Chains A and B, each alone.
Chain A
Amino acid sequence: MTDRPKTVLVVDDSPTMRRMVAWVLIPMGLEVVEAGDGKEALKLLEERTFDLAIVDINMPVMDGIQLMRRIRGKAGLEDLPVLMLTTESREQERQLAEEAGATMYQVKPCLPPEIRAKVFSLLEAVDPDGG
Chain B
Amino acid sequence: MDLETALKKLTGGGAEPRDCVVRHLRGAIEGQTIPALSRALAEPDDELLFELADLLQEIGDTKIVSVFLRLLHSDDPTVRNNARTILERIGTAAPDLLIALSRESDPRMRVFAAGILGVHGDDAVVARLLEMLRDPDQSVQDAAVVSLGLLRATTAVAPIAEFLKNGHPWLQFSSLDALCTIGGPEATQELLDALPKATDEIRIALIDALGRLAPPEGVEPLAGVVASGSPAARTAALRVLLGPLADEVRRRGRTESMRPVAREIVRALQNGRPSARLVARGLDLLAAIGGPEEEAVILGFLAAEDRAFRLAAVKAAGSMKLAAAVAPLNALLKQADTELAGDIKASLERIQAA
Binding site for B on A (CB under 8 A): 14, 16-17, 19-20, 23-24, 27, 57-66, 87-90, 92-93, 96, 108-112
Subset of 25 A-B contacts with CB under 8 Å: A14-B146, A16-B146, A16-B177, A16-B178, A16-B181, A19-B208, A20-B170, A20-B174, A23-B201, A23-B208, A27-B204, A58-B77, A59-B81, A60-B84, A60-B85, A61-B44, A61-B46, A61-B85, A63-B78, A65-B78, A66-B44, A87-B108, A87-B139, A111-B169, A112-B201
Given contacts A19-B177, A23-B205, A61-B46, contact A93 B77 (CB under 8 A): yes
Minimum CB–CB distance for B45 against chain A, Å: 11
The reply on B82 being an interface residue by CB < 8 A is yes
A109 and B139 contacting across the interface, CB-CB below 8 Å: yes
- CB <8 Å contact, A87 and B111: yes
Q: Are A110 and B77 in contact (CB under 8 A)?
A: no
Instruction: Output the nearest chain A residue to B168 by Cβ-Cβ distance.
Output: A109
Question: Which of B108, B142, B178, B208 is close to A109, meaning CB atoms less than 8 Å apart?
Answer: B142
Q: How far is the CB of A124 from chain B (nearest CB, A)?
A: 21
Shortest B169–chain A CB gap in Å is 6
Q: Is the interface of B mostly helix, strand, loop or mixed?
A: helix
Given A16-B149, A19-B177, A27-B232, does the pair A108, B139 have CB atoms closer than 8 Å?
A: yes
Q: How far is the CA of A24 from the CA of B173 in the complex (A)?
A: 10
Chain B residues with a Cβ under 8 A of chain A: 44, 46, 75, 77-78, 80-82, 84-85, 108, 111-112, 138-139, 142-143, 146, 149, 168-171, 173-174, 177-178, 181, 201, 204-205, 208, 232
Measured in the bound complex, the distance between the Cα atoms of B111 and A88 in whole Å is 10
B residues in contact with A87, CB < 8 Å: 108, 111, 139, 142-143
Most chain B C-beta atoms within 10 Å of own C-beta, residue among A23, A57, A64, A93 = A23
Are B82 and A60 in contact, CB atoms less than 8 angstroms apart? Answer: yes
A96 touches B168 (CB 8 A): no
Pick from A57, A89, A111: contact of B170, CB below 8 A. Answer: A111
Determine how close the nearest CB of chain A comes to the CB of B50; give it in whole angstroms.
10
Q: B171 — which chain A residues lie within 8 A by C-beta?
A: 109
> A92 contacts which chain B residues (CB < 8 A)?
75
Q: Using CB atoms, name the residue of chain B closest to A87.
A: B139
Q: Cβ of A93: which chain B residues have Cβ within 8 Å of it?
A: 77
A26 vs chain B, min Cβ distance (A): 8
Given A14-B146, A16-B146, CB of A63 within 8 Å of CB of B174: no
Residues of chain A with a CB closer than 8 A to B139's CB? 87, 89, 108-109
Q: Are A62 and B44 in contact (CB under 8 A)?
A: yes
B173–A58 contact, CB under 8 A?
Answer: no
Would you list the 5 A-B pairs with minimal beta carbon distance, nearest first? A109-B170, A23-B205, A20-B173, A87-B139, A60-B85
> Knowing A63-B78, A109-B139, A111-B169 touch, does A20 contact B177 (C-beta < 8 A)?
yes
CA distance A59 to B173 in the complex (A): 20
Give the chain B neighbours of A63 by CB distance below 8 A.
77-78, 81
17 more A-B residue pairs beyond the given contacts A14-B146, A16-B178, with a C-beta to C-beta distance below 8 A:
A16-B146, A16-B177, A16-B181, A20-B205, A58-B112, A59-B81, A60-B81, A87-B108, A87-B139, A90-B108, A92-B75, A109-B138, A109-B171, A110-B170, A111-B170, A112-B170, A112-B201
A47 to chain B, nearest CB (A): 20
| Distance of A16 Cα from B176 Cα, bound (Å) | 10
A19 and B149 alpha carbons, distance in the complex (Å): 14
Contacts of A14 in B (CB 8 A): 146
In whole angstroms, how far apart are the Cα atoms of A58 and B168 in the complex?
A: 22
State the CA gap A27–B44 with chains docked (Å). Answer: 36
Chain B residue with the shortest CB-CB distance to A27: B232
Give every chain B residue within 8 A of A109 (Cβ-Cβ).
Answer: 138-139, 142, 168, 170-171
Which of B46, B142, B171, B181 has the largest number of chain A CB atoms within 10 A? B142
Tell which of B81, B82, B146 has the most Cβ of chain A within 10 Å. Answer: B81
List, in ascending order, chain A residues with CB within 8 A of B44's CB.
61-62, 66
Bound Cα distance from A14 to B208, whole angstroms: 17
A residues less than 8 Å from B168 (CB atoms): 109, 111
- Considering the chains assembled together, what is the distance between the CA atoms of A60 and B142 in angstroms? 19
Chain A residues lying within 8 Å of B46, measured Cβ to Cβ, are 61
Q: What's the least CB distance linking B144 to chain A, in Å?
A: 12
A64 touches B149 (CB 8 A): no
Residues of A within 8 A of B174 (CB): 16-17, 20
Known: A87-B111, A109-B139. A66 touches B146 (CB 8 A): no
Least CB separation from B209: chain A residue: A19
